[in-house]
Amino acid sequence: MIRFFDNSRAVILYLTLSLLYSKNTCGVVPELLMFLEPDDVLRILDIYGGKVLKVPAKEDFMKELRTVLYYYLSRCTELPKKEIDEIMEMDGNEARGLEERIAVWFRFLRENNLQLPEKLFKSDTEMIKKINSEIYKGGD
- pLDDT per residue as tens digits for the range 18-57: 666 666 655 556 666 677 777 887 888 888 888 877 778 8
Q: Where do the structural domains in the chain lie, given as residue ranges?
A: 2-48, 58-136
* pLDDT of the residue at 45: 82
Total-model pTM:
0.63
Cα distances from 105 to residues 25, 102, 114, 123, 140, in angstroms, run: 32, 5, 11, 21, 9
CA 31 to chain centre: 20
- pLDDT per residue as tens digits for the range 46-104: 888 888 777 788 889 898 989 988 988 888 888 999 999 999 999 878 999 999 999 99
- CA–CA separation, 123 and 121 (whole Å): 5
